[in-house]
Amino acid sequence: MPGTEWYGAEERKEIMDVLETGAFFRYNHEHIRNGMWKAKEFEEEVKKITGAKYAHAVSSGSTAVACVMAAAGIGFGDEVIVPPFTYIATIEGVLIGGGLPVFAEIDETLCLSAEGIRKVITPKTKAVMLVHMCGAAADMDGIMQVCKEHNLVLMEDAGQAFGAFHKGKSVGLFGVAGGYSFDFFKIATAGEGGVCVTNDEKVYNIMQQFSDHGHDHIGSNRGMEQHPILGTNFRLSELHAAIGVAQTRKVPAMRDAKRANKKYLMSRLSEIPGITFRTYPDFEGDSATFLDFFTPSTETTQKVVDQLAADGVPFINYWFKNMYHFINQWDHIKNLSSPYKMAIHHFGAPQDYNKLDLPKTQNVIGRLISIGMRASWTEAERLAYADKLIESIKKVI
């Protein structure tokens, strides 16, 4: 993802602002700040992109998910429907927050499907942790309808989908709250960081308090602030926020560049018989983080991936064998291998994670190849990459 492709003078300027003041802590210390509040600026830039009423910067996408869980009131012993295709942090967030993950099927959107959610709902189901995978929105119309019918709390992990929309509304703003990741590998990076968003002031206050030991952040004397709730330390430093400020301002231009490159590569891939593309509930709202396509079978896809590797074609992701993004490799989740006792050890897992029946998901991810889109390609680089990609795939197809 291109955040680190476009790193330079703007980021250095923002970092130097912080270094020159010495105000590394995001709260208080007005006397040395020289009027600069980088975390607040970062949050404002995120609000400009997403249209969210409230945004709160935290230390990672993972801690953003934890804040969303807390604000939604989901915790000890609550069953939460989750996808088997996501970065592992999503599942960790549910477990560490006291929830009990229930895995449901995805479809060609690469996200949880309304049908998949509906099939695993039980009287104990409390919430859905929806992940907008690979930069594009899930089927929000269908999923929102299911959540409404069954009175389920919707939470959104949009870690890979900052800048993505569904019918004009930013992902992350459909449920109680949503979280984005700004780590080193995202469309915009803060080095490490995350932001949670919501349109609900009460939810926002819980998230900003929970992330800082329950501080209410009222007044200018930190030592005298009240603590309405218990919390923890998920704060973002001003140094990380400074990078996030500069990077977030570049997102519209980076997204436009990725969309142009993706459109061209899709047109070239369309020349190959048997290649199909990810389903987009709203193609215009795609952040173009990845180009996702399918071959007719898992066996064919594995041969194509091997050929691409042999030919040295970069930026290829085969999630079916990826250690961190697909359930087939999550032995530590299946066996609940934790150094301490969690709620799930007390209640027991709601499913046998070693014997999950997810045929649709296995088929979709087995046939899927994702290409990480570049924002910095020149026209010549884009053409050369496309030629090499197509030639390599045709050898197998």
Query: Could you tell me the two tokens for 25?
Result: 């802590």
Q: For the chain, how many structural domains are there in total?
A: 2
Tens digit of pLDDT for each residue in 314-341?
999 999 999 999 999 999 999 999 999 9
pTM of the model: 0.96
Domain final residue, candidates 220, 250, 280? 250
The answer to the question of residue 337 being in a domain is no
What per-residue confidence (pLDDT) applies to 3? 64
Query: Are residue 83 and residue 221 in the same domain, yes or no?
Result: yes
What per-residue confidence (pLDDT) applies to 5? 86
Query: Are residue 274 and residue 227 in the same domain, yes or no?
Result: no
Using CA atoms, how far apart are residues 95 and 323, in angstroms rounded to an integer? 19
Query: Are residue 92 and residue 104 in the same domain, yes or no?
Result: yes
What per-residue confidence (pLDDT) applies to 318? 98
Query: Are residue 133 and residue 279 in the same domain, yes or no?
Result: no
Query: Are residue 244 and residue 272 in the same domain, yes or no?
Result: no
Coil, helix or strand at residue 139: coil
* Structural domain for 167, as ranges: 2-250
Tens digit of pLDDT for each residue in 349-384?
999 999 999 999 999 999 999 999 999 999 999 999
What per-residue confidence (pLDDT) applies to 2? 59
What per-residue confidence (pLDDT) applies to 220? 82
Query: Are residue 243 and residue 176 in the same domain, yes or no?
Result: yes
The answer to the question of residue 355 being in a domain is no
What per-residue confidence (pLDDT) applies to 1? 59
Domain final residue, candidates 250, 268, 297? 250
For residue 148, the tally of other CB atoms under 10 A from its CB is: 10
**What residues contact residue 286 under an 8 Å CB cut-off, 6+ apart?**
135, 136, 137, 164, 259, 262, 280
The answer to the question of residue 20 being in a domain is yes
Domain final residue, candidates 217, 250, 283? 250
Query: Are residue 181 and residue 200 in the same domain, yes or no?
Result: yes
Q: Which amino acid is at 242?
A: A
The answer to the question of residue 352 being in a domain is no
Query: Could you tell me the two tokens for 293?
Result: 């396509």
Residues of the chain with pLDDT under 70: 1-3
Using CA atoms, how far apart are residues 245 and 255, in angstroms rounded to an integer? 16
* H or E element in which residue 332 lies: helix 331-334
| CATH code for the domain in which residue 19 is found | 3.40.640.10
The answer to the question of residue 350 being in a domain is no
Query: Are residue 60 and residue 165 in the same domain, yes or no?
Result: yes
C-alpha dist (Å) from residue 319 to 133, 134, 285, 361: 12, 11, 23, 12
